[in-house]
Structures are given as structure tokens and as C-alpha cells.
Structure 1
Amino acid sequence: MTAGSTVELVKLRKAYGATVAVDGIDLRIAAGSYCCLLGPSGCGKTSTLRMIAGHEDITDGDLLIGDSVVNDDPPAKRGTAMMFQSYALFPHLDCTDNVAFSLKMKGVGKEERRRRAAEMLDLVDMGKYAGRLPSQLSGGQQQRVALARALITRPGVLLLDEPLSALDPFLRVRMREELKRLHRDIGITFIHVTHSQTEAMALADLAVVMNQGRIEQAGPPRELFNRPRTAFVARFIGGHNVIEGGVVGDAGRCAVRADRILLGGAELPTEIQVEGTVRSLEYHGASVHLSLDIPGADEFAVVLDEARYFDAPVGVGDRVRAGWSRRDVHPLAS
């Protein structure tokens, strides 16, 4: 398989008339890394992916793959391959011919292209289904065939457009594991668009949070989770409470992780304490998730270990005291 390629976006911009979808972003994706572009609908992540693929023209800025500016190169000349959300398999072709189709279009002989298709199907554990039509496969199996078809061109960059969104939750976890394994085994650059924070955390070594066409923050998932730069990142990545300045004595807006908060009475061993009312609670097995109404916080979540919660359970409508340590307060830039 081809070694992974670096991808660099330099002041990359995409406008549709007066509407700016991607607003002059800078990003470098190292060769062989797994990058997830994530954010809400309309944030610009899919337009960015499609510009990298060559399926959208670049309005301004430069796109480099390896050492080459590829702004005007057609998709087939970029060393990239795209796996679409819908999989887009040909219904009248079996798995082997679906995977081999792009090689057929390039004039590769039948024996060679079928041999390489068989190798790709084995790579994604679909060799035993080589003769089946797409209609005879499950959604997860169709996805594996689509992956094999993208990889057969030996790209330096694999582009994935929300590849797990159509799968049920159990299969989504299985396919996350499969994507991680393939990335490790193949070693090329993966760029994966998703709206799922969980997906990005599980897969990426570089997570890029986008909002209104701009990059809010980019870095390793753990860095984004523990040190969100803005209130938007803290809320979108999840697991944090955003508290307005002055509510608990701090001058600026800050974030506190929901799993660092304790509930109790006046004996709480924390420097910062507030009172609120339990609005809702959910039992998640290993943990219990509560939502509190607290002045100065639009949403205030508490995640307690199951045993800790049931040592002193509370119910909806109860008045409670919540507390956390000052060392767990994370200041936000905006």
C-alpha cells in the first residue's frame, strides 16, 4: 500500500455565492495520521473534505497533498480516494467487480484487477462474500466492500464522509474498531468527517472542531477534552459545564468537567459550591447522569459513579449542593 501523504490547507476558503462555507482555514495533517473533522451541520466540514477530494472547487487559498499544490488537479490525479456515506455500490455487480471497477476503468487486465480485488476483500475480511451482490449483504458488509473499493487504488489519503452514520449503535462500535485496525495496518492518512464526538474521540489522533466555517480548535482528542479553548468546544465535545464569569467568584467564563463534580451537603470538601435543583437524571449502568438547574449555567451536568450516587441518592425536584475543586476549573478564551 502507498505510504500516507501529508495534507495542508493554507487559508482555504469556499463560498457559494454570498454564503461562506469555509472561511480561510489553516490546517496541517501529518502523513499517516487519523484526522477527524467534526462539528454541527453547516460548520464546513463536508465542504472541506470535498475540496480535498477535488469534488468542490476552491474559492481561495491553497491545498497541498505531499509537496504539491493540487488546487486544479482532478480527483484521479490527487492520490486520494473517497468513501461516500451512501457507499454507492453498483447493485448489479458482485463484491469482486465492485471493488475492481476503478481498475477496469484504468485499463488494468481482468486477471490482475480481480487478483487485487481479492486481496482488498481479504483485508477487510470480506473474501468469503466475494461473489455476492450488494443486496445480499448487511449494511456493515456493504461498508467493508466500499472501503475495499476505495483502497484498491492505493491512495495516499483516504477520505471518509460520515461512514458510520447509517449503522446501528452496536455495529458502529464494531466498525470503529475495524477502521482503527485498517489505519494501523495500512499506514495511510485518513481524513474522516463526523458529527459524533464519540467517534472522533475513539478514532482520531488529530481532532478538528469546526464552527461556522472556521476551526475552533485542533489537537489530540485528549487535549480538546481536557483543555477546550472556547465555550463552543467545551459544549460540543461534551462532558463540561460552561459557567459564566462571576457566578462562583471567577472573573471570566470557565468550564468544569461534569465527572469532577460532587453532590452533598455543607460537608462537601470542595472550595467551590453552588446550590441547585435536580431537573433530570438517567441511569447509565456504571454511572448516573444528572442535570441541575443552577443560576449562571444554561446546562449543568453531573456524572457520578454508580456506587457514589446510590450511597446518597437524590430525585428530580430535590435541592442539592454541588461542589468542585478550584484546580478543576478551566478558563475559556471566549
Structure 2
Amino acid sequence: MAKGADIELVAVTKRYGAVTAVDGIALRIPAGTYCCLLGPSGCGKTSTLRMIAGHETVTEGDILLGAENITDLPPARRGTAMMFQSYALFPHLSCTDNVAFSLKMRGVPKAERRARAAEMLARVEMTAYADRLPAQLSGGQQQRVALARALITDPSVLLLDEPLSALDPFLRVRMREELKALQTRLGISFVHVTHSQDEAMALADLVVVMNHGRIEQAAPPREVFNHPASAFVARFIGGHNVIALAGGLPIPAPPGGARHVAVRADRMMLARPGAAELPLSGTVRSVEYLGATVAVGLAVEGLEPLSAVLPEAAFFADPVHPGEAVSLGWKPEDMHAIA
């Protein structure tokens, strides 16, 4: 399979009995893309990944890799490789033998497969640990071995099922950087399932937000963050206030008949009552000091809870406290209309 292969899902559906896990999705992932499938538990992202891998059958629709329809091919013939959440390393095998295992199953001679395994371990900077067993490795080291094992088959696409979820926060950030650097160096597509918004934003060229088996939005991370396609995306991505345009609120309605607007929390303006001409009146619910910024939770009658994120210096120039009254609003250009 050629390295420069697009992945395309054409009206793909997955049903488990009466339950529809993936509902007729259409998606194209260009060759060499880092794609993150993002969404809450049960949204269909893992079922989608497993269908691409061939570990789940497709109920309806087609999966294409380049010009080839791989919908009904077994996993070993697809040109894809999958790295599982648990890493699934063989506990009784050394790192070298774990990495070489798939080549052994294909009948590759011992000297050749061990040489290729050594090359893969060097690529993920694990040469010094080649003779160790998985139990003698840290979580991050086990992940690198699992990556090397997946890459030894020279796939066109690497599929990753929540690969960072078992790591501590510090190591998660470090391994996130390593995954992106590795993908850039290899030049192949990575399709990565995660429920972490931060992880998707940091890694992805293409973020695919899923909900109830459907794709709510598929776009570059900056577009998803600044122009969420729906109220669900705005809420799930975080950092936004979703405001229903109910009657009686002193908020200018955007053109097009939108039912909601989204306003980034860091674009909210906050002032003492009467100190500025801001349209809404509210009460401070909470104050959270986050270092460089301060998050202020706000209650406004008739709206769901709102938040404002202020620079540390701006907040402490005139700090507010829970229970105090405030005025709030935003610039018209910071309001994004959504369905």
C-alpha cells in the first residue's frame, strides 16, 4: 500500500443488534494527516477506529484506503496497524521479541526480523531496553515498544485507541509531543481516538467531533475552537459560553435565524455594575485561580451558567468575589452563531 493514501469512509454504519453505534458517517482523511476522533463515551469513535482496523465488521457503507476498498479485508491485509489502549505486550517476551512478533507470524527469518525490530526500537529511542521484559519498563517505555511493534509492518495508517489515557499528566504531555514528532517524521496518517479536548487540539491536523454515532464537525482544531458547528461542539470543546437567544434578553440576534450564539470565555468582558455599558447583569458564582488566568463563574437569570477567563493581572487589578454583582458582555465580532 502506498504511503500517500487517503482514508475515506463512505456512509459507514455500525449496528450492534438494535443499537446503532455509528450512523452513516462520511469522512475523508487526507494522506499524512494526524486525525483525532473526539467525543464522549459511547459516541462511536472507538467503533469507527475498529472498523478502519478491520476488528469490527461494517454493517453498511465502505472504507477506502487510497484506491482500494478495504471494507471486507482482514486486518493484516489492510495496510493499517493498530496500537491498543492496553498496549497488549506479551509479558514473557523481550522488547525485541515483542516488536518482531508479527514478522515471526509471517514467516520472516529470525535474523531479518530481529534486525528490523532493532531498527524500530532505535526509531522510538528504546535500543537500551531491547532485552527487557514489559514488567521492567515504565508506562511511557511500554508505549514506545507498542508503537514500534505497530510500525514494524510498515503501515500506511497507524490507528491509536486512547494511547495516552493510562499515563500520568506529566508523561502524557511528553508522549503527546513524541507522538506528533513521530507522525511528522514518518509522514503517514495517524488516526487517534481520545476523549480529551486538550489532546486533540494539541495533536490533530483534523479534529472529528462525534456525538451519538454521527459527526458533528470535522475541521482543523483552530476552526473547531473558533467556529464550532453546533451547541454540542461548543460545549464539548470547552472554553465557550453557549447562549440561547430567548426573548427578552438584551442581546443582538445574529443574522440567519440562529438559535444560539457561542462566545469564548476569554472574550467575555466583566465590570462592576454601572462601570461600563455592558448588556447583562449577573452574579459571581465562583473564582478559580489558574496561574496565568483566573476563571470566573457567572450566573445570569434566564441563561445557563456562564464563565469568563481573565488575565491574572487584569483580574487582580479589581478582583471580584462569589456573591458580588457584575455587568458582563462581549464585542459583536466575538459572537459566533450556531444552530
1:329 maps to 2:324: no
Alpha-carbon shift at residue 147 of structure 1 (Å): 0.4
Partner of 2:294: 288
Matches within 5 A, 1:46-195: 46-195=46-195
Distance in structure 1 (CA, Å) of the matches to 2:168 and 2:58: 35
What TM-score, normalized to structure 2?
0.95
Structure 2 letter corresponding to 1:250: P
1:315 maps to 2:318: no
| Cα deviations by residue, 1:142-170 (Å, 9 ceiling, x for unpaired) | 00100000000000000000000011100
Alpha-carbon shift at residue 326 of structure 1 (Å): 1.0
Distance in structure 2 (CA, Å) of the matches to 1:182 and 1:296: 49
Would you identify which runs of 4 or more consecutive aligned residues in structure 1 move more than 2 Å?
246-252, 265-269
Partner of 1:17: 17
Structure 2 letter corresponding to 1:88: A
Match of 2:22, SS?
A: strand
Alpha-carbon shift at residue 250 of structure 1 (Å): 3.4
Partner of 1:268: 276
Distance in structure 2 (CA, Å) of the matches to 1:84 and 1:303: 37
Alpha-carbon shift at residue 4 of structure 1 (Å): 4.0
Alpha-carbon shift at residue 200 of structure 1 (Å): 0.4
Match of 2:285, SS?
A: strand
CA contact (8 A) 2:251 2:279 kept: no
Alpha-carbon shift at residue 248 of structure 1 (Å): 3.3
Distance in structure 1 (CA, Å) of the matches to 2:276 and 2:195: 37
Distance in structure 2 (CA, Å) of the matches to 1:323 and 1:238: 19
Partner of 2:284: 278
Alpha-carbon shift at residue 267 of structure 1 (Å): 3.2
1:256 maps to 2:263: yes
Distance in structure 1 (CA, Å) of the matches to 2:251 and 2:283: 20
241-250 or 158-167: bigger deviation: 241-250
Alpha-carbon shift at residue 308 of structure 1 (Å): 0.4
| Cα deviations by residue, 1:252-286 (Å, 9 ceiling, x for unpaired) | 311100000121133336xx531111111211110
Distance in structure 2 (CA, Å) of the matches to 1:176 and 1:185: 14
Distance in structure 2 (CA, Å) of the matches to 1:212 and 1:318: 39
1:45 maps to 2:45: yes
Distance in structure 1 (CA, Å) of the matches to 2:189 and 2:30: 8
Match of 1:289, SS?
A: strand
| Cα deviations by residue, 1:296-333 (Å, 9 ceiling, x for unpaired) | 33221110000000001111111111121111111102
Partner of 1:204: 204
Structure 1 letter corresponding to 2:297: S
Partner of 2:256: none
Match of 1:35, SS?
A: strand
Distance in structure 2 (CA, Å) of the matches to 1:2 and 1:96: 27
Task: Could you tell me which runs of 5 or more consecutive residues in structure 1 were left unpaired when the two chains were aligned.
Answer: none
1:303 maps to 2:305: no
| Number of aligned residues | 331
Match of 1:191, SS?
A: strand
235-244 or 258-267: bigger deviation: 258-267
Instruction: Give the 3 Å change call, closer, same or farther, for CA 267–317 of structure 1 in structure 2.
Output: closer
Task: Could you tell me which runs of 5 or more consecutive residues in structure 2 were left unpaired when the two chains were aligned.
Answer: 254-258
Identity, % of aligned positions: 67
Match of 1:97, SS?
A: helix
Alpha-carbon shift at residue 49 of structure 1 (Å): 0.3
What TM-score, normalized to structure 1?
0.97
| Cα deviations by residue, 1:63-95 (Å, 9 ceiling, x for unpaired) | 101111111100000000000000000000010
Alpha-carbon shift at residue 6 of structure 1 (Å): 1.0
Alpha-carbon shift at residue 292 of structure 1 (Å): 0.8
CA contact (8 A) 1:45 1:210 kept: yes
